[in-house]
Amino acid sequence: MQAKLSVNINKIALLRNSRKGSYPDLYKYARDCEGFGAEGITVHPRPDERHIRYDDISILKGQTKNEFNIEGFPNDKFLKLVLKNKPDQCTLVPDDPTQLTSDHGWNTIRHRTFLKDVVSTLQDAGIRTALFLDPDPKMLEAAVDIGTDRIELYTGPYAYYQSVNEEKFQSEISKHALVAKLAQSAKIGVNAGHDLNLENLRIYAESLPNLLEVSIGHALTVDALYYGLQNAIQMYKRQLIIA
Ligand code: PXP
């Protein structure tokens, strides 16, 4: 089984917003990502709308064919948006409104009741859920109790340690592999994301045989500048082919 590639298009929205117009065309970019092989599109609307705007969502939903994933903190405005647009998947992320980017997973023990409520609301609307999680068995245990369909493992520290500390890098791989295995036993699907790139993606996919999906934005966007979007997408997809 090969993990799917969902391209996070937030950085393209950021580029568009820097000149206030509609160039580059975000919607064409999303369609082209799919045309070049991406199995999904991810958007992460944040309250200040500095990248994806709330009114982009319904247009993207209407123009994309593959899996559509909306991620973000489940405040009332976000949930209303998600329930209205019914993406295939909603990834719940514990980021505060001013955060630059996501940098930790949920404390599923502390927020168990809140997350149970949100997860069942989304599932009742036919939307698959994923909880953004650090690779911690205790957090997974509570995520199983919450009833989420999937988790998305936060790969920031994994990516960071690759070039700075081999021992910690190996330890991150072991933690991710363990939680992925436990998730599989509990029949919870495993996605992953953050700071994944052409240097670290293959090792990650090889270490987690039940990985279903990766969502990648920053590095893929930078690589597209050097190699072109079609090549970059194909290069990322090749990293996910495990012999
Ligand atoms: N997953 C989550 C929950 C995120 O917030 C982000 C960044 O928006 C990503 C994955 C993708 O991370 P990156 O842009 O580093 O590939």
104 as an active site residue: the answer is no
Atom of ligand 1 nearest to the CA of 220: 16
Catalytic hit among 44, 51, 67, 213: 44
Distance CA 197, CA 218 (A): 9
Whether ligand 1 lies within 6 angstroms of the CB of 155 is answered as: no
What does the pLDDT look like over 209-220, one tens digit per residue? 999 999 999 999
**Domains recognised in the chain with CATH numbers:** 4-239 (3.20.20.70)
Which residue minimizes the CA distance to atom 11 of ligand 1? Answer: 194
Q: Is 175 helix (H, G, I), strand (E, B) or coil?
A: helix
Counting ligand 1 atoms within 8 A of each CB, the residue from 215, 216, 223, 233 with the most, and so the one to mutate, is: 215
44 as an active site residue: the answer is yes
Is this structure's pTM higher than 0.85?
yes
**Mean per-residue pLDDT pooled into runs of 10, the chain (243 residues):** 96 94 97 98 93 96 97 96 98 84 91 98 98 98 98 98 97 98 98 98 98 98 98 98 90
Q: How far is CA 62 from CA 78, 146, 216, in A?
A: 18, 31, 22
Which residue is it, tokens 């209407």? 62
Spell out the residues 6+ positions from residue 88 whose beta carbon is closer than 8 angstroms to its own. 40, 67, 68, 69, 127, 128
Atom of ligand 1 nearest to the CA of 93: 3
Q: How far is CA 9 from CA 76, 136, 236, in A?
A: 23, 28, 15
Query: Would you state the pLDDT for residue 2?
Result: 95
Query: Would you state the pLDDT for residue 101?
Result: 76
- Which helix H or strand E contains 114, and what residues bound it? helix 112-124
Q: Tell me which residue of 173, 170, 178, 183 sits closest to 130, measured CA to CA.
A: 183
Counting ligand 1 atoms within 8 A of each CB, the residue from 15, 41, 44 with the most, and so the one to mutate, is: 44
* Ligand 1: centre distance to CA 144 (Å): 23
What are the φ/ψ torsions at residue 6 (nearest 5 degrees)? -105, 120
Distance CA 9, CA 51 (A): 9
